[in-house]
Structure 1
Amino acid sequence: MKYRTVIMYVEIGCFVCCLCGWILVSSTLPTEYWTFSEVGSIVLTTSNYYSNLWRDCISDTTGVSDCKDYPSMLALPVFLHACRALAVCAVITGFFGGVLTLIGMKCTKIGGTEIINARVTFSGGVTYLVSGFCGMILYSWWANRVISEFVDPNFRAQKFELGAAVFVGWGGSILLICGGTVLTFFSAKEGLKSSSQRKERRPVSYATARTRRTYMPVLSPSRVALMPPLYHAGARSHMSRVTTTRTGPTFSRDTFV
């Protein structure tokens, strides 16, 4: 199997993995079960309290449930505003990561040349990584807050436990990080390596001519240098072939007599 075919299948697998992770992360935003608490006041009646980034809800065993949005945005703590911002960033960057990866993959043939496709895929992989890290920070921060309040003996308010949405978000974030890492690694080997090879300086060849202000380099005895045509005033241009030979001692004719 050719290397290009292997890379194409790897890109498809990473794209599917990241797409599933982005869907899981996006599905946690409308889910109310970020925190969960069960209070049994009466034997036959049990109240369930659960909440997410946007609202608080309550339900009981009789089937009656009610949800209420947070009354004021400005009155909310900074922690909740930061979690909302991370959630929105995770969804938006995951969407753009999917668009860039879909354009740059080898199987789609939309981006153009192989180098351009590799660089677009690299951008999509980095965007997927940003989405995965935003989601991981969000759910880990939320879980740390809930657990710290639950185990704190001085916390007198109602204590909550981790809901199902946090675990689903962790799974989606892990898929985004794993798929984005593999996608970035293979696309960087092709896209960034070619750009670095272009920056290497190639040896430059120079042509010298025998004039009054230029000098011929010293050549080895076995090398022959072809010179460009020389032009002299009042003379016909011609090609000159210059050969360098070793100079030895000169002998006259009477020496051999």
Structure 2
Amino acid sequence: MVSSAFQISALLLAFLGLILLLVASVSNCWKFSSPSTTLITASWIYEGLWMNCVATSLGSVQCKKFFSLLSLETYIQACRALMITSLILGMCGTLLTLLGLKCTQLGSNSENAKSKIAMLGGMVFILAGLSSMVAISWYAERITAQFFDSFYGGTKYELGYALYLGWAGSLLSILGGIFLTCSACKEKHRDYKYAATRQGKDARIYIKQSETVTSAKDYV
């Protein structure tokens, strides 16, 4: 019962990380124009992986999608691919973990098979978290490099809230995957220990039976 509750808690932790990664991926605030470098303080520029937006102090917001993939910088294309990969891996990890939970009747009923499936789901969650962590850290590194570059003549940006959501989601996904993997390894070790104990007990019973038969023959 304790193991099942631990697995469910780890799954919820990793799934929460997946939700945060989804919100970060579709957000338009991966970076925003720095007030210290903007001449017109009545307007702000927000930019994400899919579009950029201009907001004014009057409350109007205009957004424009990135229609041409080839015109984007290489790191934005790579971040897109990594975030999509992370989301796909997160969904696969959720499905595998649901099949590997001890408290579910989905898939195989073998405890050993369920432990292997749950371990695989945990590893997939870890890969999803690492993939998104690389994308978000790479994007943040480019923002900070341009901000502190005195020779950069373009608009300087600061880190948007979507990056912090992405970092939090990546950490939750990695932690949930680690907990799932550890739970499956512990369960597998317990099964091996039980099997070894049962084998030793059966061997002792067999030896006692053999000694009893031998004693009976000697008596005869």
The two structures have a TM-score, normalised by structure 2, of 0.82
**Does 1:158 find its partner at 2:155?**
yes
Q: Which residue of 2 aligns with 1:80?
A: 76
Q: Matched residue of 1:29: which SS?
A: helix
* Structure-2 change in CA distance of 1:192 and 1:133 (3 Å): farther
* Match in the other structure for 1:126: 123
Counterpart code for 1:109: Q
Instruction: Report deviation, 1:78.
Output: 1.6
State the shift of 1:194 in Å: 5.8
Gaps spanning 5+ residues in structure 2: where?
200-210
Report the equivalent of 2:29.
Answer: 33
- Residue matched to 1:136: 133
**2:134 alignment partner AA:** I
Asked if the contact 1:38–1:46 (Cα under 8 Å) also holds between the matched residues in 2, the reply is no
Give the Å deviation of 1:121.
0.3
Q: Secondary structure at the match of 1:56?
A: strand
Whole-angstrom distance in 2 between the partners of 1:92 and 1:76:
23
Tell me the secondary structure at the aligned position of residue 157 of structure 1.
coil
Deviation of 1:103 after TM superposition, in Å, equals 1.1
Q: What is the distance in 1 between the residues matched to 2:90 and 2:188?
A: 22
Match status 1:98 vs 2:94: yes
Structure 2 letter corresponding to 1:141: W
- Higher relative contact order (Cα pairs below 8 Å, separated by 6+ residues): 2
Q: Which amino acid aligns with 1:14?
A: A
CA displacement at 1:137 relative to structure 2: 0.8
Q: Which structure 2 residues correspond to residues 1-257 of structure 1 after superposition, within 5 A?
A: 5-38=1-34, 41=39, 46-110=42-106, 111-191=108-188
- The structure with the greater share of residues assigned to helix is 2
Q: State the structure with more CA Rg.
A: 1
Contact kept in structure 2, 1:38 and 1:47, CA below 8 Å? no
Give the root-mean-square deviation of aligned CA atoms.
Answer: 2.4
Contact 2:34 2:156 in 1 (8 A): no
Whichever residue aligns with residue 49 of structure 1, its letter is I
1:30-54 deviation line (CA, Å, top 9, x unaligned)? 2100001155545xx6110010011
Residues 75 and 138 of structure 2 are in contact (CA less than 8 Å); yes or no, is this contact kept in structure 1? no
What code does the residue aligned with 1:57 have? C
Same amino acid, percent of matched pairs: 33
Q: Which amino acid aligns with 2:121?
A: G
Structure-1 residue corresponding to 2:205: none
Partner secondary structure for residue 26 of structure 2? coil
Q: Look up the SS of the partner of 1:75 in the other structure.
A: coil
The number of residue pairs the alignment matches comes to 197
